[in-house]
Structure 1
Amino acid sequence: MNSSEKTAARKTSDGVSRRALLSSGLAGGFLLAFHLPLRAAVNEPVQPPDVTDGKFAPNAFIRIDADGATTLVMPQVEMGQGIYTAISMILAEELDADWSQVKLQHAPANEKLYGNPIFIIQATGGSTSVRAFWKPLRAAGASARAMLVQAAAAQWEVDPASCTTSKGVVTHKASGRTLSYGALAQAAGNLTPPKDIQPKDPKDFVYIGQPFKRLDTPDKVNGKAIYGIDAMLPDMKFATLAQCPVFGGEVGKVDDSAAKKIPGVQKIVVLDDLVAVVGDHMWAAKKGLDALKIEWNEGPNARINSKAVWDDLRAASEKDGVVAKSTGDIAKSLATGEKFEASFELPFLAHATMEPLNATVHCKPDSCEIWTGTQIMARVQSEAAKAAGLPVEKVIVNNHLLGGGFGRKLEPDMVVAAVRIAKQVDGPVKVVWTREEDIQHDVYRPVYRDTIAASLSGGKIVGWKYKISGAAIIARWLPPAFQKGIDIDAIDSAVDVPYDIPNFHVEYVRAEAPGVPTGFWRGVGPNNNVFAAECFMDELARKAGKDPVEFRRGMLANQPRFLSVLDLAAEKANWGQPLPARVGRGVCLQPSFGSFIATVVEAEVDEQGEIKLRRVTSVVDTGIAVNPDTIMAQVEGGLIFGLTAALYGEITIDKGRVQQSNFHDYRMLRIDQTPKIQVHVVKSGEMPGGIGETGTTAGPPALRNAIYAATGVALRRLPIDRSLLAAGKKA
């Protein structure tokens, strides 16, 4: 992209205003002082620490120029979770930066500098952003601050310990002399970064722990925010595509005669597994695609249907699994006391992100440039390079805000498809998937079946045998993490239930649904295991003749953080207070992504089986809360996401085809159905945990348990079958 193209792209982006009527009065104070890199133009290159270009660049995350402008490089991507704000708060805190002079910048594709410490690769997901980068970011900020202090102390010929920092200024306390970070940038850049610098004591935090409003919100409200789908380049064409409706099928014959007559249609691209129509605008491309007559070679997967998938999974779940954890004598304990058994099932789910899948690509013989929103920049770069037939260094990925991710954009398929299409087009082309193409060619949350056997004695669980059966996403997505037949994601929140159970056994059976692509879906293993375990806990409480909260409390003597959130949630939700007929409260207690959360859902079930969500209360202990406002928003959004899945979410398959296609048959919870949600954040000095997925995993079991309390119907499968509630049958 040449300089004139960049200028044109910036002008186009500057003119975007989706909601002009809301553009005034929405950004106040420090929000206006931040510049987010949202323009649909190539990112300015982020120089490695040893290439300063006159800037103080002590590490991969911080750049300070002579004017004092401080650029913080974001190693994780912003997809609505507020991570740009949290990362900037952590870095600015330890750096003692002047908040008004800070700018944010996307990190480039560079796994060496910006790899997620938990995944090793450069990826945003798994509720890891804060907990993975907490130590590296604090160390980066503290080290840079120490270098600036050392530079000032050397100039003044004083002891560095006699200097303090605040808002981008170093002060010598005794003399009152000051120097700005900008004035010290060059001198500090000549110093060697110190080792083992101690970050701040949390009691000295200025930014961390404060409820800051998210930095990206004003531009998202007034329409100035630039997502991947907003990329606009000179002479750009538009395309949309169709893939075989059967998984793994290929293109047979294409009659494009009618499509070519559509005004604005420029080209029909036929590849082995997809057909794309390229047009002057999206409407031409879509109408051209609708006019195509395509014969598909469907292949063997045309025989797949939901019944076969479930029959296979249920058969697999009867087999012995690989032992993930075992303590005590499980066989003896299950023969002791009263034994109970149950099985729980969760369906395929689609992601249905608000921003449709898209990528804009400009392929040339010797280079390829991409504009998109992805959770995996480096992997997208490498996979795009393969598709383009180019070395990795010849591929540039410009990342933008994501209009939702939920794990879907941990996959590179949409970009790879766009590159393959772009190779057949002169100039840049924006490839956008329709909602139907998105839902019917997703990488789905796997089907899972969990079987549990437990024994009760003296009102407590003495034996717990838990078996998970389902796909091994990790085996495909990150093979080195798949060891000895154990998928660490599939067993998450199963091997670490919070309760004191003396005899405890967990197994995993890998069972892949034939032909159906599966991947991460905002929680995956935990939203499966928390559902099964917490639903069965309520059934066992009833068998023991105990209140569900008291039953759990009796097994938490050694878990003070869990006990604390459970007690506070019960208090805030008015647990135990009388309720009308067919109204119930359900509780869920869970360890998820390093956080501790208790949730109570209050729901009403009418005689026809329809469900009204009345109230949701969550108490979260996520360690040090970098930004309590964001934590509350994330839990609220996660609860709505999870409750939507519990009430409506299911992908079904017939003749190898996904039967759902859009929001009319893959429903979302609507605003008038959303209950009052109260989130309480526990003040803690522990290490931060993850928060992006905890609400999602909490909602379904708490709702199911509320229904159980209201009706006596013990549902064991999602989505909720209203006919069982109307008929009053046991699930």
Structure 2
Amino acid sequence: MGRRPRKQKTLGQGLDRRTLLVGGGAAAGLLLAWGVWPRSYAPNLNAAPGETVFDAFLKIDRAGQVIVIVPQTETGQGVTTLLPQILADELGADWRTVAVQGAPVSPLYANTLLAREWLAGDGTRLLGGAGDWAIDQYATRRALMLTGGGTSVPMFHDAYRDAGAAARVLLCKAAAARWNVPWESCDIAEGIVSDGGERRLKLGELAEEAATFDLPDILPLRQGQDGLAGQDLPRLDTPSKIDGSHNFAADIRLPDMVYASIRQGPIGDARFRSANEDAARTVTGFLKLVKQDRWVAAVASNWWAANKALDLADPVFDLHGPPVDSAMIDDRLEAAFSSDDGRRLYSQGALLPVFDKATILASEYRVDPGLHLAIEPPCATARVTDTGAEVWIATQAPSLARAAIADALGLADTAVTLYPLHAGGSFGRKMDFEAGVQAALIARDMGRPVQLLWSRLEDVVHDRPSAPAHARMAAKLGRNGAIDGWLAKVAAPCALSQTWARIADGALPHQAAADAADKATRLAVEGMVPPYAIANWAVDHYPADVGLPLGFVRGNARLYGAFFTESFIDELAHLSGIEAMSFRIQMLGGNPRLAHCLTTAAAMGGWQGGIAGSGQGLAAHMMDGAYAAVMVEAGMEGSRLSVGRIIAAVDCGDQVNPDIARQQIESGLIYGLACAMGASVPYAKGLPTRAILGRMDLPRLADIGEVTVELIRSTAPAAGVTDVAAPLVAPAIAGALFTVTGQRFRSLPLLGRA
């Protein structure tokens, strides 16, 4: 990408034991050094005339508009409604007055929850609370603003609730001072401060005064009052998206701006060699070819001219190393099972005595890499001067994106202003931000603002797909269908380790893939711990370098982990002679929330016991405090998969906005259906064999019948819901197809590579 690796500690495999052991004392030196760093940070928000900053999450202007600051990237999941709804509920605001503003880079917005999930290693686990503290401090002091994994609400719920409560107290204090009454007698409802009588004031009338008061030692929260939380409030981003006024990355327009398209060669260690610039000059509007070591971009007065010029320029790249192809991916995954890098990461009980001299049931499964295929290809707009840069981009890691752009331009981080935009879909693709770095370099070369938009072809070629994986599952059945022993061996590269190496450490994609090739990690087998009561089980990971750079996706390793686990459960149920739901329920006595989801989905769908010809399948899964079960009715229409019904029952805690939760679960179901049907391409000679969406066997409206989502009432804390349903669809469909065809479908896509 034309930038040098950042010189910092690599944490792609987590904060490991070596990182945390200093001079023989467990984390002593680290704790001492970090202990003297500042622990409090002031908000760095800009306030327009008439606006009053209350804290890092809230401003109120004189007109009474409640401006909520949101650090999380809106990718369609509704986070710019959910977090403001939490704050507005506790504040007592009128929903019609609530507005949203993106957050600047600040330690106050660090997502320590996702950082813990991503960076925790054996060392931090051994250190317990000290290990978690170290990750939290690392994330905070690096201002790791991250969006992903359904962590936004669990991470920031309390912060937004407390911000609303604090503002409510300050506004009540300001009103009480005017009326000469105790502030505890005042309250806010629908954006009006009152003392319970006829005296009333609007928020905007009190905002400036309120900011001068002090908060009490104990912050009072609302108790038992009907408010905005739990209501199906309309999304704040919907009106502008409907009328077209909402700005995505490709909508940005700057004075004197030009447009660029880019080519980056085949997948792998490719270097730019040459291009026919004379042919490019024949295109009206063409301005220049900008050449870097690993890519070339055409710049023109409009994007279509830039892309056409690049086609005619026909760039040539030199590829170092073998070109990626599907056969090579399969061979390397199978070879991983024979390597010395495999490692047992999860286990319980004693598996060897159970398997010794026993009849073992075994199956093998395979999952191909899955593309993101978001509606919006990578895009960024940049303006670079001698003293600084401005970049407009949708990114799930804005602080890391800003640092990478600054590094590429040779600037201090503070000299780069990054304007966070909403994403036109992501599914994890916007965790990478190479388009922002490229746009900044092109803009510097051109000396004028540049908007870089990748073509759909480029998006498919240089997507960072989900990880391919092979699994060898083995089990021993005991009496009455009980599972006495369970072993899962998974060969897969770790996509999350690669992603971290790219975005945090500046590694090139092929370097990140190679560096993670011999490191077994829990991140590659998350979701593989069986949720069922099995006395003896183990999960082994066999790392591999398949030559294909991989990335953050919706569900991550759970996409294949749940497919392996739930498909194998179906096979064991059939071999034991017990129908699939009862087989699962008998092992869920210690997991009542998942059992409730399973029985609810079966009852709503009219489960027939998985009898031959029923076309019904089931799957259940849990992740990060969310529990879900899916029942499908599916069959074949000629050579094409058809899904008549999808029923999901989900226990995801006390949701802030149930309608948005249902939207995200429905979205996850369709995403999972895309993984089951297609969303994958074969690779040959370092390139995907096709790049047109219409040829990828993606689900169409005609392929999808009725979709029903039931949210199970719960008083548990709200869990993230963006990922929980996606991994369940493929195994449920596989089970349904078995009842129709009598054939086990053990690969994704289910109908094989097109």
Q: What TM bracket, shorter-length normalisation?
A: 0.7 to 0.9
Q: Distance in 2 between matches of 1:191 and 1:235?
A: 47
| Paired position in structure 2 for 1:590 | 621
CA 156–716 in structure 1, closer or farther in 2 if over 3 Å, else same: same
| Paired position in structure 2 for 1:308 | 328
Q: 2:490 aligns with which of 468, 473, 476?
A: 468
Is 1:518 matched up with 2:541? no
CA 160–50 in structure 1, closer or farther in 2 if over 3 Å, else same: farther
CA 192–334 in structure 1, closer or farther in 2 if over 3 Å, else same: farther
CA 538–577 in structure 1, closer or farther in 2 if over 3 Å, else same: closer
What amino acid is the match of 1:473? A
The question of whether the paired residues in 2 share the 8 Å contact of 1:248 and 1:299 is answered with yes
For 1:341-398, what per-residue CA distance to the aligned partner results, in whole angstroms no more than 9, with x for missing partners? 1222111121111012111111112111111211111111111111112111111111
The question of whether the paired residues in 1 share the 8 Å contact of 2:45 and 2:104 is answered with no
Q: Distance in 2 between matches of 1:719 and 1:187?
A: 61
| Paired position in structure 1 for 2:584 | 552
| Paired position in structure 2 for 1:159 | 182
- 3-state SS of the aligned residue for 2:408? helix
Is 1:390 matched up with 2:411? yes
Q: 1:632 aligns with which of 640, 643, 662?
A: 662
CA 60–487 in structure 1, closer or farther in 2 if over 3 Å, else same: farther
The question of whether the paired residues in 1 share the 8 Å contact of 2:580 and 2:609 is answered with no
Is 1:611 matched up with 2:638? no
Please state how far the C-alpha of 1:594 moved relative to its aligned partner: 2.5
The question of whether the paired residues in 2 share the 8 Å contact of 1:49 and 1:58 is answered with no
What amino acid is the match of 1:463? G
TM-score by length of structure 2 reads: 0.85
- 3-state SS of the aligned residue for 2:402? helix
CA 723–216 in structure 1, closer or farther in 2 if over 3 Å, else same: closer
| Paired position in structure 1 for 2:104 | 108
Q: Distance in 1 between matches of 2:451 and 2:303?
A: 9
Q: 1:74 aligns with which of 70, 84, 87?
A: 70
Please state how far the C-alpha of 1:426 moved relative to its aligned partner: 2.3
CA 453–196 in structure 1, closer or farther in 2 if over 3 Å, else same: farther
What amino acid is the match of 2:101? Q
Please state how far the C-alpha of 1:577 moved relative to its aligned partner: 7.3
Identity of aligned residues (%): 31
Q: Distance in 2 between matches of 1:176 and 1:461?
A: 69
Please state how far the C-alpha of 1:198 moved relative to its aligned partner: 4.6
Q: Distance in 1 between matches of 2:226 and 2:730?
A: 36
Q: Distance in 2 between matches of 1:677 and 1:713?
A: 26
Q: 1:185 aligns with which of 199, 207, 215?
A: 207
Alignment of 1:366-377 (within 5 A): 366-377=387-398
Alignment of 1:142-157 (within 5 A): 142-157=165-180
| Paired position in structure 2 for 1:528 | 560
Q: Distance in 1 between matches of 2:112 and 2:216?
A: 23
- 3-state SS of the aligned residue for 1:675? strand
The count of corresponding residues between Structure 1 and Structure 2 is 671
Q: Distance in 1 between matches of 2:617 and 2:542?
A: 30
Q: Distance in 2 between matches of 1:329 and 1:722?
A: 37
What amino acid is the match of 1:310? D
| Paired position in structure 1 for 2:608 | 576
Structure 2: state its 5+ residue gaps: 1-41, 116-138, 506-515
CA 626–714 in structure 1, closer or farther in 2 if over 3 Å, else same: same
Is 1:696 matched up with 2:692? no
Is 1:503 matched up with 2:524? no
Q: 1:448 aligns with which of 469, 473, 480?
A: 469
Please state how far the C-alpha of 1:296 moved relative to its aligned partner: 1.9
Is 1:264 matched up with 2:295? no
For 1:251-277, what per-residue CA distance to the aligned partner results, in whole angstroms no more than 9, with x for missing partners? 112221111021111111122111111
| Paired position in structure 2 for 1:17 | none
Q: Distance in 1 between matches of 2:177 and 2:354?
A: 69
The question of whether the paired residues in 1 share the 8 Å contact of 2:233 and 2:657 is answered with yes
Q: Distance in 2 between matches of 1:342 and 1:135?
A: 45
The question of whether the paired residues in 2 share the 8 Å contact of 1:117 and 1:133 is answered with no
Is 1:654 matched up with 2:684? yes
Q: Distance in 2 between matches of 1:230 and 1:575?
A: 48
Q: 1:401 aligns with which of 422, 434, 443?
A: 422
Is 1:90 matched up with 2:86? yes
The question of whether the paired residues in 2 share the 8 Å contact of 1:566 and 1:598 is answered with yes
Q: Distance in 1 between matches of 2:217 and 2:522?
A: 34
CA 532–398 in structure 1, closer or farther in 2 if over 3 Å, else same: same
Please state how far the C-alpha of 1:140 moved relative to its aligned partner: 1.7
CA 632–48 in structure 1, closer or farther in 2 if over 3 Å, else same: same
| Paired position in structure 1 for 2:273 | 252
Q: Distance in 1 between matches of 2:598 and 2:476?
A: 23
For 1:377-421, what per-residue CA distance to the aligned partner results, in whole angstroms no more than 9, with x for missing partners? 111111111111211111111121210111111001111122222
Please state how far the C-alpha of 1:319 moved relative to its aligned partner: 4.7
Q: Distance in 2 between matches of 1:347 and 1:195?
A: 55
- 3-state SS of the aligned residue for 1:694? coil
Farther off after superposition, 64-73 or 404-413: 64-73
For 1:288-336, what per-residue CA distance to the aligned partner results, in whole angstroms no more than 9, with x for missing partners? 111113332122233x322122111112134573332222111123348
Q: Distance in 1 between matches of 2:169 and 2:537?
A: 49
Please state how far the C-alpha of 1:550 moved relative to its aligned partner: 0.5
For 1:455-506, what per-residue CA distance to the aligned partner results, in whole angstroms no more than 9, with x for missing partners? 1112111211222321223334447999x955343232123x3211111222
| Paired position in structure 2 for 1:669 | 699
Q: Distance in 1 between matches of 2:600 and 2:613?
A: 25
What amino acid is the match of 1:435? R
Farther off after superposition, 280-289 or 331-340: 331-340
- 3-state SS of the aligned residue for 1:713? coil
The question of whether the paired residues in 2 share the 8 Å contact of 1:77 and 1:401 is answered with yes
The question of whether the paired residues in 2 share the 8 Å contact of 1:361 and 1:419 is answered with yes
For 1:563-606, what per-residue CA distance to the aligned partner results, in whole angstroms no more than 9, with x for missing partners? 11111100110001798x74411101001342111101101125
Structure 1: state its 5+ residue gaps: 1-45, 725-731
- 3-state SS of the aligned residue for 1:507? strand
